[in-house]
Homo-oligomer: A and B are copies of this chain.
Amino acid sequence: MTETPTRRRSGGRAARTAARSQKLHADIRPVRPGLPGGQYRPLSDTDVLRIHEAALAALEEIGFAKAPPSGVRILTGAGAEMGADGRIRFPRALVEDMLAKASRGITLHGRDPAYDLHLERTNTHYGTAGAAVHMVDPFTGTYRDPGMQDLYDAARLVQALDNVHFLQRPVVCREFTDNAELDLHTLYAACAGTTKHVGTSFTEAANVPACIEMLHEIAGGEAAWRERPFVSNSNCFVVPPFTFAEESCEVMEACIRAGMPVLLLSAGQAGATAPAPIATAVVQAVAECLAGVVYVNALAPGHTAIFGTWPFVSDLRTGAMSGGSGEQALLTAACAQMHQFYGLPGGAAAGIADSKLPDMQAGWEQAISNVMAGLSGLNMIYEAAGMHASLMGFCLESLVLGNDLLGQVQRCVRGVEVRDEYVSIDVMKSVILEGPGHYLGHAQTLRLMQTEYIYPELADRSSPKEWVEKGQPMLLDRARQRKEEILGRDGHMFAPDLEARLRERFDLRPLKRE
């Protein structure tokens, strides 16, 4: 080390720095949920139209296999055509009619209204998602089975992390062999840990009623639940290419009847279950989600649904998924533009790392797709933090670091404000012609310090000299410390009486609360 550790000068500056690092009230924070994107448009208007036309053609000419009997009734009842080959095809006029009925400008509620998400235009929201089958220990590189406690911990962390706006369950609670138990405990652990909006899945329709009963209990009755449904159903209604997932369709129908918003999720993989060209993968995802729109609106016109084009990418050398690739970032951003073309609330995946660990590779992989998703104006940015190994692994320390990463990304989405004051040369004139010749300490500088500049919590900006003086703090150690600090306090989001009622009604396993 050429830098010699020296005693830091005490006094004014450190105190000022500390004072300026206080947490800001939500209304003056430089970033917030719902910042409008759209400054980045990977597709031309013509491209968008051509993709739309191709999607309509695919729905008319290729159609969908394997609708469940209920789906066949719903879809053909609305005007879809069952072919001799068992495929349901969608006339263009049917798709257009259903698009006209589809919900727009929706709100995804938080259990706490402060966390409501307004999905309209190019408003952007970042959150977790996935179904990782491993928890990652970033210090040993160990991958182990996740359990309900991990999901609960993830939920509590999301609750504490300002730049993570919702919790879609990121891990599979693998201790459960019974699917009904799995679905119930997944819902319980997620809602117990956060009052932000929750997304979850149900393995089969038979499991939905008990879960809905739990939600009624949490909400304070069915009416309250239906008024502000704070959980949405992440629903893989399609097995790409163009095949309905029968059980998921039945789950979707059950959720719709129970008043739960659905995420219509088409998760093809370009080069494997979706076409290899990025544009064609978008065509397929759009077509598949349009079929979902027909399905939902034929059953319940205007039911709250999210257009979930989630095309993933294959590493074409191996066929393995590569969620951390540049191609993935492009796919997701292009999808956002299609959502905007339809005026539908939309979601897709960004922020996935292929790296097994929260290392430099993970940093760039998570950042590139997250910033492009935000700049493209994607309403719901799923998988935005904590995801590694192409969705196989979830890492709590990475989630905590993701909060910093997403803060920076959201600052970029907020963009460059060009107010009258900022294109006036008055401040320049006074500083240069009359003043000190620099802008340090100028009133304008001080005013913007907290409202227009964002500061990371864990990322280190000190000079090499200061860094050595602090003992060369390692990023991952700081992340672990922050994680332990949050999880060390009781962040249980159910009041004791609610918790007691839930445990009386349902056979729930215990959770470690701090």
Instruction: Using CB atoms and an 8 Å cutoff, list the residues of chain A in contact with chain B.
Output: 1-3, 13, 16-17, 20-21, 39-44, 46-47, 50-51, 53-54, 57-58, 61-62, 85, 134, 141-145, 241-242, 270-280, 282-284, 313-320, 322, 324-327, 329-330, 334, 354-368, 371-372, 375, 389-390, 392-393, 398, 401, 404-405, 407-412, 415-419, 421-425, 427-429, 431-433, 437-440, 442, 444-446, 448-449, 452-456, 458-464, 467-468, 472, 474-476
List 20 other contacts, CB 8 Å, given A280-B428, A325-B454: A16-B317, A39-B40, A40-B40, A62-B432, A242-B428, A271-B439, A271-B445, A272-B440, A276-B439, A276-B444, A279-B422, A283-B428, A315-B455, A316-B449, A325-B453, A326-B410, A334-B416, A354-B459, A361-B460, A375-B375
Complex: how many Å from CA A41 to CA B407? 20
Complex: how many Å from CA A275 to CA B405? 25
Which B residues touch A458, using CB under 8 A? 361
- The answer to whether A364 and B361 have CB atoms under 8 Å apart is no
- The answer to whether B461 and A390 have CB atoms under 8 Å apart is yes
- The answer to whether A141 and B472 have CB atoms under 8 Å apart is yes
- The answer to whether B408 and A325 have CB atoms under 8 Å apart is yes
If the complex has contacts A40-B375, A42-B415, A444-B276, are A320 and B463 also in contact, measured as CB distance less than 8 A? yes
Q: Given B57, B317, B359, B456, which contacts A425 in the complex, CB threshold below 8 Å?
A: B57
- The answer to whether A326 and B411 have CB atoms under 8 Å apart is yes
Which B residues touch A142, using CB under 8 A? 1
- The answer to whether A43 and B425 have CB atoms under 8 Å apart is no
- The answer to whether A280 and B361 have CB atoms under 8 Å apart is no
Complex: how many Å from CA A316 to CA B54? 50
Can you show 11 pairs from A to B with CB atoms below 8 A apart?
Answer: A47-B418, A54-B424, A275-B422, A282-B416, A316-B446, A318-B461, A330-B411, A359-B363, A363-B364, A363-B365, A390-B463
Which B residues touch A460, using CB under 8 A? 354-356, 361
Which B residues touch A2, using CB under 8 A? 134, 143-145
User: Nearest chain B CB to A398's CB is how many angstroms away?
Assistant: 8
User: Nearest chain B CB to A150's CB is how many angstroms away?
Assistant: 13
Complex: how many Å from CA A468 to CA B392? 14
If the complex has contacts A276-B445, A279-B416, are A318 and B360 also in contact, measured as CB distance less than 8 A? no
User: Nearest chain B CB to A272's CB is how many angstroms away?
Assistant: 5
- The answer to whether A433 and B3 have CB atoms under 8 Å apart is no
Max chain B Cβ within 10 angstroms of own Cβ: one of A357, A412, A456: A412
Chain B residue at minimum C-beta to C-beta distance from A280: B422
- The answer to whether B361 and A475 have CB atoms under 8 Å apart is yes
Complex: how many Å from CA A62 to CA B425? 9
Which B residues touch A62, using CB under 8 A? 425, 428-429, 432-433
- The answer to whether B241 and A432 have CB atoms under 8 Å apart is yes
- The answer to whether A428 and B241 have CB atoms under 8 Å apart is yes
Complex: how many Å from CA A453 to CA B47? 20
Chain B residue at minimum C-beta to C-beta distance from A427: B275
Q: Given B51, B145, B274, which contacts A439 in the complex, CB threshold below 8 Å?
A: B274
- The answer to whether B412 and A330 have CB atoms under 8 Å apart is yes
User: Nearest chain B CB to A440's CB is how many angstroms away?
Assistant: 5
Complex: how many Å from CA A164 to CA B430? 42
- The answer to whether A241 and B431 have CB atoms under 8 Å apart is yes
- The answer to whether B364 and A366 have CB atoms under 8 Å apart is yes
Which B residues touch A57, using CB under 8 A? 425
- The answer to whether A21 and B360 have CB atoms under 8 Å apart is no
Chain B residue at minimum C-beta to C-beta distance from A431: B241
Which B residues touch A455, using CB under 8 A? 315, 317
Complex: how many Å from CA A99 to CA B351? 42
- The answer to whether A326 and B409 have CB atoms under 8 Å apart is yes
User: Nearest chain B CB to A205's CB is how many angstroms away?
Assistant: 25
- The answer to whether B275 and A134 have CB atoms under 8 Å apart is no
Complex: how many Å from CA A395 to CA B484? 32
Complex: how many Å from CA A278 to CA B358? 31
- The answer to whether B360 and A359 have CB atoms under 8 Å apart is yes
For the complex of A and B, list the 6 residue pairs with the smallest distance between their C-beta atoms, beginning with the closest: A363-B363, A326-B411, A364-B367, A316-B449, A40-B40, A279-B422
User: Nearest chain B CB to A362's CB is how many angstroms away?
Assistant: 6
Max chain B Cβ within 10 angstroms of own Cβ: one of A355, A422, A446: A422
Which B residues touch A423, using CB under 8 A? 50-51, 53-54, 279-280, 283
Complex: how many Å from CA A47 to CA B360? 35
